[in-house]
Amino acid sequence: MFAAIDNPSFQAFPWLGLLLWAAFAAAAAACTSATRWVHATGQTLEIPHADRWAVAVAACGLALLGGFLAAGPIAIPVAAAAAAAALVGFVRKRDAVVPESRRFLSRGGMANIAAEVRAASKRATERQRAEKQPAPTLAERLKALIGGLGKAKAKRGDPAAAEGVATAADNGVFTFLKKDGTPAIATDDPEAMSDNVRNSRKMLMAAMRAEATDIHLEPQEQQYFVRFRIDGVLQDIDKMPIQEGRGVMSTLKVLSDMNIAERRRPQDGTFAATLDAAKYDIRAASTPTSYGEKMVLRLLQSSGGVMKSGLDSIGLRPQVLKRLNEIIHKPYGMFLVVGPTGSGKTTTVYASLSEIDAHKHNITTIEDPVEYRLENITQIAVNSQAEVSFAKILRSVLRQDPDVLLVGEIRDKETAEIACQAALTGHFVFSTLHANDTVATITRLLDLGLDPTLIQTAVTAVLGQRLARKLCEKCKQKCDPPPGLLKKFKLRDGEIGHIYREKGCEHCRGTGFKGRMGIHELLVMNDGIRDLISDQPVVGDLKKAAIKSGTQTLQIDGLMKVIKGQTSVSEILRVTT
């Protein structure tokens, strides 16, 4: 009766029968998932007659079942070919409505999708690695905090426990504020809010509780990804169904005064919020992607904000601290703090400035925007919209008899030139610059078009900086120092005992790290280095001269902190390579 089983070749080779059944099962499973995919994609992308395609693929599945039982193995390739034909038909319809970069039947689209799949699988492995640790991962804990966002509450095994965390997340007074500080939403009561406002509130509260600095809302084909940046590292937090994500997006656009109908152009705006006693200024920036709008929110805690701590609070090694204190108390010259975005340059430059006696010196800052308030100091904000640039303000400030100047950031030749002139004419100038390390600062200034002689004469010292995460004191794990580390410091086996690596516990939300500290390299200008600065400096020679004059590179400074047990080798490699 069953051709597939009665086939004579099966009696001769029983394993062949098993193999054929396995092939049949695989083909049937493939047909089922293909049907589901066609149905879901058709619905999301609103492809006309999408369900006819789903029925076509499903019919191939049924034909496979019937054919396999009646006619034997030949049914597998026949049904597979039919299903593939139906699928290709559907994919052509799909490709017609998705952006170029998402098309399956285009080489560029495929390459793009393949790259995304690789990135996603990398993220998944990293997540798995984190989940192997016994403590709940950050994502799990925040999911519980966010509660309703991913419908996690309904799915959770223990409803009472879920209720507990959800209430904890709702505990506390959260208020949405407009730019001018007036309430933006009529009520603070989550029960009285619309779903979209309530979801936005939960997401923001979770981010504030996790001490996140940024929230990323990224649309995918069928959902929105929510990621938080905590201690400088982006972490996957949650997913939202696409409709829910769009609702949150609209709420955030209204709050930050954006044009809600505009989805094709990048926009930005600001709003504020308070959670208990803390006030946050929130900068929102939206940008179109192939699946719709993406949004990044930057959270700046604005209460407090007065810089009181000095240079000894930023994690400088004692020798570097001593050198730096000598440098910034010179009557004239220029001190630059350099590093990539988010490396803590502003904090360091303010901490140095706060070491200077504001009663005896006329200190003026020019910033974009003013990030910390300092006592007894004139602070001026650059307003790029009113065409009041760094250079323009700097010129007028120089007529106000300043002793010490802080130029927020050197971005162009004009600012660099005036700042150098000021440093040469009896002022001490502090500034920051976007450069990878101290030696790269010299080439960066030359690239801006600055004359080599100005750099030789004006720049006193450059401090390169990164922020590295500190190991969580509650769960850090002893381990042997890798041979490479010992070799780098010319140490013998056993000379430094053990170092530590990250593990993860409840205290650090499963990451193994808690808080951050700076790692630094200080380059003090001397004749040897000045001689090497020309139109076309040899970077290798500059590096050698810097090291000869006592500069410890960022990596060496970081590894010294590894030996002290403050951070891990992997963290230092992450921030210095």
CA dihedral angle for residue 65, residue 71, residue 73, residue 78, rounded to 10 degrees: -70
CA distances, 151 to each of 40, 155, 227, 541 (Å)? 19, 7, 17, 59
Q: At its nearest, how many Å lie between Zn ion and the CB of residue 20?
A: 53
Q: Counting Cβ atoms within 10 Å, is residue 121 exposed (0-12), middle (13-18) or buried (19+)?
A: exposed
**Apex 230 CA angle, 224 and 233, nearest 5:** 85
Question: Which lies closer to Zn ion via its Cβ, residue 137 or residue 365?
Answer: 137
How far apart CA 419 and CA 429 sit, in angstroms, is 7
Binding of Zn ion at residue 508 (CB under 5 A)? yes
Options 197, 284, 374, 505; binder of Zn ion; rule CB under 5 A: 505
Q: Counting Cβ atoms within 10 Å, is residue 362 exposed (0-12), middle (13-18) or buried (19+)?
A: middle
Q: At its nearest, how many Å lie between Zn ion and the CB of residue 53?
A: 51
**Apex 464 CA angle, 462 and 466, nearest 5:** 160
Measuring CA to CA, which residue among 412, 530, 358, 397 is closest to residue 461? 530
For residues 453-482, which are near Zn ion according to CB under 5 A? Answer: 472, 474-475
The one segment of 147-155, 419-427, 489-497, 503-511 that binds Zn ion by CB under 5 A: 503-511
Q: Are 428 and 404 spatial neighbours (Cβ–Cβ below 8 Å)? A: yes
Q: At its nearest, how many Å lie between Zn ion and the CB of residue 231?
A: 12
Question: Which lies closer to Zn ion via its Cβ, residue 405 or residue 508?
Answer: 508
Q: At its nearest, how many Å lie between Zn ion and the CB of residue 505?
A: 3
Question: Which lies closer to Zn ion via its Cβ, residue 49 or residue 498?
Answer: 498
Helix, strand or coil for residue 10? helix
Q: At its nearest, how many Å lie between Zn ion and the CB of residue 502?
A: 8
How far apart CA 178 and CA 192 sit, in angstroms, is 19
Question: Which lies closer to Zn ion via its Cβ, residue 169 or residue 508?
Answer: 508
Q: Are 337 and 348 spatial neighbours (Cβ–Cβ below 8 Å)? A: yes
How far apart CA 32 and CA 39 sit, in angstroms, is 11
Q: At its nearest, how many Å lie between Zn ion and the CB of residue 568?
A: 12
Write each residue from 417 to 456 as x if it is in contact with Zn ion (CB under 5 A), else as -, in one continuous string: ----------------------------------------
The one segment of 173-181, 246-254, 257-265, 497-505 that binds Zn ion by CB under 5 A: 497-505
For residues 510-539, which are near Zn ion according to CB under 5 A? Answer: none
Question: Which lies closer to Zn ion via its Cβ, residue 266 or residue 515?
Answer: 515
The one segment of 77-85, 323-331, 502-510, 566-574 that binds Zn ion by CB under 5 A: 502-510
Q: At its nearest, how many Å lie between Zn ion and the CB of residue 556?
A: 27
Q: At its nearest, how many Å lie between Zn ion and the CB of residue 299?
A: 23
β-bridge pairing 223-230 and 214-219: antiparallel
Q: At its nearest, how many Å lie between Zn ion and the CB of residue 472?
A: 3
Measuring CA to CA, which residue among 224, 226, 260 is closest to residue 242? 224
Q: At its nearest, how many Å lie between Zn ion and the CB of residue 127?
A: 18
Measuring CA to CA, which residue among 130, 144, 233, 228 is closest to residue 504? 130
Question: Which lies closer to Zn ion via its Cβ, residue 338 or residue 471?
Answer: 471
For residues 110-169, which are near Zn ion according to CB under 5 A? Answer: none
Question: Which lies closer to Zn ion via its Cβ, residue 75 or residue 468?
Answer: 468
Question: Which lies closer to Zn ion via its Cβ, residue 467 or residue 508?
Answer: 508
Token code pair at residue 286: 């939206």
The one segment of 209-217, 322-330, 499-507, 557-565 that binds Zn ion by CB under 5 A: 499-507
The one segment of 349-357, 430-438, 478-486, 508-516 that binds Zn ion by CB under 5 A: 508-516
For residues 203-222, which are near Zn ion according to CB under 5 A? Answer: none
Question: Which lies closer to Zn ion via its Cβ, residue 329 or residue 474?
Answer: 474
Question: Which lies closer to Zn ion via its Cβ, residue 537 or residue 565?
Answer: 565
B/e letters for 187-214, b = 16+ CB within 10 Å, e = fewer, are eeeeeebeebbbbbbbbbbbbbebebbb
DSSP state of 498: -
Question: Which lies closer to Zn ion via its Cβ, residue 294 or residue 476?
Answer: 476
Q: At its nearest, how many Å lie between Zn ion and the CB of residue 516?
A: 15
Helix, strand or coil for residue 287? strand
Total of chain residues touching Zn ion, rule CB under 5 A? 6
- Residues lying near Zn ion in the complex (CB under 5 A) are found at 472, 474-475, 505, 507-508
